[in-house]
Structures are given as structure tokens and as C-alpha cells.
Amino acid sequence: MVYRAFGDAGRRVVIEERLEGDEVSVFALVDGEAVALLPAAQDHKRAHDGDQGPNTGGMGAAAPVPLDGDLRERIVSEILEPTARAMCAEGSPYRGVLFAGLMLTRDGPKVLEFNCRLGDPEAQVVLLLLSAGLPDAFAALREGRLVPDSLLDVSGAAVGVVLASRGYPERSETGVPIFGLEQAAGGALIFHSGTTLRDGTLTTGGGRVLTVVGQGGTLGEARARAYDAAGRVRFDGMQYRRDIGARLEAVAQAHSTAVPAGRR
Ligand code: GLY
């Protein structure tokens, strides 16, 4: 507020309920009142390990988040379905992806925000878990047909680690040459976010430069692949979190490592 970092938005203070718990990004395909749940993901918004440091656009994501049956039922029946019904009742039926950012509190799931899109970096892990039928599911949705559950089968796990520039999120260094992408690409999928080609050389062009995504049968395997690949990329000042997906992996291990399907 003192430095007006957010312009006029910094002139007013809004005090809200503090919600304690785990944050989870829940996605659903919505067609009017019908709701089909996609796998949930966990974003990691703070810059440093252990959820320390400044807030960022997202330092990495892991999916699926294991939601037990009761919790999944509450999310659908108390949050997603009433929201879809309310849009119909207002004469604006929604057809598309509904993203609910939730806090899983001791009193149950609470909504932080809604978006009408897949999240970033969540999409980079969620889309990889869905079967090849996803384009058909989107096509069916566009035509107003119910989404067939069989098209939304989920398999395995994915972990995406964001490789960021020195100084991110406050002031990011750019124009730094990037090395090692070919070695990293052997075991992972690499998404470019802030890269620029300068005279044929790939350089950093923003704060969040790349997301390196590993896939596997379990979160542990996916994490190992993502971090193996992240370790092969190099650019001066590169920073990334070492604990993306670690909490979820611990939860999955406590549930005897079975990664549940996130469909309904
Ligand atoms: N990862 C949060 C968002 O895309 O809004």
C-alpha cells in the first residue's frame, strides 16, 4: 500500500475470514446442470520450499489430489452442482470447464475462487492424466451431449516443476541463455512459458520460464522424473522448488500409495 505496488487496488483494505487447510484446484466439465469431475490438482503458489516466500503465479503443480468419497461428494453436491444450477436459474447455463479453487478446512471445503478455464500450471499436469478421449469429451460438450464418463478415465500421476528466473516474482532477469533442454526432454514433457529465441539461441524471456512435467504410475515416480529432468536444465539464476508434490506423495503413501481415479 505504501509503494502503491497494485495501483488504486491498494487504497482499500478488505478483511475476510482466514481459511486454514490445504488448497486444492478442482475442475469439472459442466453442461447446464450436469457436472463431470476431472482430476483435482494442487498448485504451489509460494516461491520457496515449505510454502515460504512471496506469492507467485504458481511454482508447480501435482495431480491427482486424492479426494476421498465423502469429500468428493460434498464438493460436487455442495459446490459444483449448486453453482451449475444457479447459472441455469439465472438464464445463463454454462458449458465448459469450471475451476473451483477450494480450501479444505476442518469445517469442509470452502470456495476461494471460480474460474471458467483450466488453471496454470494445473492444466499442464491434469490434461496428461486423462485418457485420449478428452478431445471427444470436449466435442461432445460443445454439442450439448452429456459427457460420457468412460472418456474421463484417469491414470497415473503427474508433477510439474516451474523453472523460474533469478529475482522472480519481484523482478525477473531475462535474456539469459538456456541449456540442457534436449537432455531433459527425454524423460519429461517441457512447457515453455517465458522463453524467447534471440538470434537462434533460446533465452529466458520472463519470470516463469519453463515447466518440466514428469509422469508415472505414482506421484513418487512422477516426482522423480520431473526432478531428474529439472536437474538437466541450466540457466544462470535458475530457481525452482524442491518440494512440488511432496505433501501429496506423503498423503498417497499414507493411503497405501493407491492413486484414486478422480472421476465421477
Ligand atoms: N493456478 C491458479 C490459476 O490458474 O488461477
SS3 170: coil
pLDDT at 206: 95
The residue written with cell numbers 449448486 in the block is 82
196-209: pLDDT as tens digits: 999 999 999 999 99
pLDDT band at 149 (very low <50, low <70, confident <90, very high): low
Residue 120 CB less than 6 A away from ligand 1: yes
- Residue 263 falls within a domain, yes or no? no
Residue 87 CB-density burial (10 A; 0-12 exposed, 13-18 middle, 19+ buried): middle
Is residue 63, in this structure, part of any structural domain at all? yes
pLDDT mean over 121-138: 87
Question: What's the predicted TM-score (pTM) here?
Answer: 0.89
Q: Is residue 149 in some structural domain?
A: yes
Q: Say if 74 falls within a structural domain.
A: yes
Q: What is the CATH number of the domain that holds 251?
A: 3.30.470.20
Residue pointed to by grid coordinates 474460474: 115
Q: Supply the residue whose CA is at minimum distance from atom 4 of ligand 1.
A: 119
Higher pLDDT, 130 or 157: 157
Ligand 1 pocket test, pick from 65, 112, 120, 162 with the greatest ligand atom count within 8 Å of Cβ, gives 120
Three-class secondary structure of residue 25 per DSSP: strand
Residue 50 has pLDDT above 90, yes or no: yes
Q: Of all protein residues, whose CA lies closest to atom 2 belonging to ligand 1?
A: 119
34: in domain: yes
Number of domains in the chain: 1
The whole-angstrom separation of Cα 165 and Cα 253 is 33
What ligand 1 atom has the least distance to the C-alpha of 57?
1
Tell me the torsion sign for CA atoms 134, 140, 142, 147. negative
pLDDT tens-place string over residues 65-74:
988 889 999 9
Under a CB-based contact definition with an 8 Å cutoff, are residues 134 and 68 in contact?
no
**What is the spatial distance between Cα 36 and Cα 154, in angstroms, rounded to a whole number?**
13
Residue 72 lies in a domain: yes
Ligand 1 center–CA 200 separation, angstroms? 32
Q: Is residue 69 part of a domain?
A: yes
- Sheet of 108-115: strand order equals 34-37, 22-31, 95-105, 108-115
* Ligand 1: centre distance to CA 123 (Å): 9
Q: Which domain holds residue 133?
A: 20-258
Asked if the structure places residue 15 within a domain, the reply is no
Residue with C-alpha cell 503465479? 57
